[in-house]
Amino acid sequence: MDPVLLGEILAGTMFLGVIGMLMLGFPVAFTLAGTSIIFAYLGLYFGVFDMSNLRALAGRYTGYMINEVLVAVPLFIFMGVMLQRSNIAEQLLSTMGRLFGNMRGGLGISVILVGALLAASTGVVGATVVTMGLISLPAMLRAGYDPKLACGTICASGTLGQIIPPSTVLIFMGDMIAGMHSQVQMSMGNFAPKTVSVGDLFAGAFIPGLLLVAIYIGYILFKAITDPESCPATPIPPEEKKGLWKEIITALVPPLLLIASVLGSILGGIATPTEAASVGAVGATLLAALRWRLNFAVLVDVVKRTAVITSMIFIILFGASVFAIVFRQMGGDNLVHEFLAAMPGGAMGAMITVMIIMFILGFILDTFEIIFIVLPITAPTLLVLGIDPVWLGVMIGVNLQTSFLTPPFGFSLFYLRGVAPNSVSTMMIYRGALPFVILQLLAISLLFIFPELVLWLPSVLF
The pLDDT tens digits for 94-153 are 787 777 777 888 889 988 988 888 776 655 666 678 778 888 888 888 889 999 999 999
What Rg value do the Cα atoms of the chain yield, rounded? 23
For 207, counting Cβ atoms within 10 Å of its Cβ (0-12 exposed, 13-18 middle, 19+ buried), the class is middle
Highest mean pLDDT of the ranges 119-128, 243-252, 405-414: 405-414
Q: What is the C-alpha to C-alpha distance for residues 341 and 344, in angstroms, rounded to an integer?
A: 8
Q: What is the C-alpha to C-alpha distance for residues 108 and 122, in angstroms, rounded to an integer?
A: 21
Nearest CA among 259, 269, 149, 215 for reference residue 443 = 215
Provide the pLDDT for residue 240: 63
Kindly indicate the confidence band of residue 391, based on its pLDDT and cuts at 50, 70 and 90.
very high
In order of 3, 23, 446, the CA distances from 176 in angstroms are: 30, 26, 25
Span 339-364, average pLDDT: 86
- The one-letter code for the residue type at 85 is R
Asked whether the beta carbons of 370 and 362 are under 8 A apart, the reply is yes
Q: Please give the DSSP secondary-structure letter assigned to residue 32.
A: H
Mention every residue, 6+ apart, whose C-beta is less than 8 A from residue 363. Answer: 403, 406, 409, 410
Asked whether the beta carbons of 233 and 162 are under 8 A apart, the reply is no
Asked whether the beta carbons of 389 and 196 are under 8 A apart, the reply is yes
Between residues 128 and 213, the one the model is more confident about: 213
The average confidence (pLDDT) of the chain is 86
Nearest CA among 308, 332, 398 for reference residue 18 = 332
Kindly indicate the confidence band of residue 369, based on its pLDDT and cuts at 50, 70 and 90.
confident
Q: Please give the DSSP secondary-structure letter assigned to residue 165.
A: S
Q: What is the C-alpha to C-alpha distance for residues 332 and 307, in angstroms, rounded to an integer?
A: 34
* pLDDT of 444 over the 90 cut: yes
* pLDDT of 9 over the 70 cut: yes
How do residues 151-164 score in pLDDT, each as one tens digit? Answer: 999 999 888 878 88
| Helix, strand counts (H, E) of the chain | 21, 0
Span 396-401, average pLDDT: 90
In order of 69, 89, 275, 284, 460, the CA distances from 278 in angstroms are: 12, 20, 5, 10, 26
Kindly indicate the confidence band of residue 346, based on its pLDDT and cuts at 50, 70 and 90.
confident
In order of 286, 333, 430, 436, the CA distances from 218 in angstroms are: 35, 43, 20, 11
Kindly indicate the confidence band of residue 218, based on its pLDDT and cuts at 50, 70 and 90.
very high
Coil vs helix vs strand at 272: coil
Of 13-22, 225-234, 285-294, 316-325, give the lowest mean pLDDT range: 285-294
Asked whether the beta carbons of 379 and 392 are under 8 A apart, the reply is yes
Q: By percentage, how much of the chain surpasses pLDDT 90?
A: 24
Coil vs helix vs strand at 335: helix
Span 165-171, average pLDDT: 83
Half-sphere exposure of 60 (CA within 13 A, CB side): 18
CB atoms within 10 A of CB 176: 17
Asked whether the beta carbons of 336 and 378 are under 8 A apart, the reply is yes
Q: What is the C-alpha to C-alpha distance for residues 455 and 3, in angstroms, rounded to an integer?
A: 43
Span 217-228, average pLDDT: 93
Of 25-29, 313-317, 335-339, give the lowest mean pLDDT range: 25-29
Q: What is the C-alpha to C-alpha distance for residues 122 and 24, in angstroms, rounded to an integer?
A: 30
* pLDDT of 377 over the 90 cut: no
- The one-letter code for the residue type at 416 is L
Provide the pLDDT for residue 297: 87
Provide the pLDDT for residue 120: 65
- The one-letter code for the residue type at 109 is I
Provide the pLDDT for residue 388: 93
Q: What is the C-alpha to C-alpha distance for residues 417 and 134, in angstroms, rounded to an integer?
A: 11
Provide the pLDDT for residue 146: 93
Q: What is the C-alpha to C-alpha distance for residues 49 and 338, in angstroms, rounded to an integer?
A: 20
Coil vs helix vs strand at 353: helix
Provide the pLDDT for residue 389: 93
pTM across the whole model:
0.84
CB atoms within 10 A of CB 103: 15
Nearest CA among 321, 322, 315 for reference residue 38 = 322
* pLDDT of 294 over the 90 cut: no
* pLDDT of 406 over the 80 cut: yes
Provide the pLDDT for residue 393: 93
- The one-letter code for the residue type at 329 is Q
How do residues 200-211 score in pLDDT, each as one tens digit? Answer: 999 999 999 999
CB atoms within 10 A of CB 85: 19
Burial pattern 106-128, b for ≥16 Cβ within 10 A else e, equals bbbbbbbbbbbbbbbbbbbbbbb
How many residues comprise the chain? Answer: 462
How do residues 55-107 score in pLDDT, each as one tens digit? Answer: 888 888 888 888 888 888 888 888 888 887 777 777 777 787 777 777 888 88
* pLDDT of 184 over the 90 cut: no
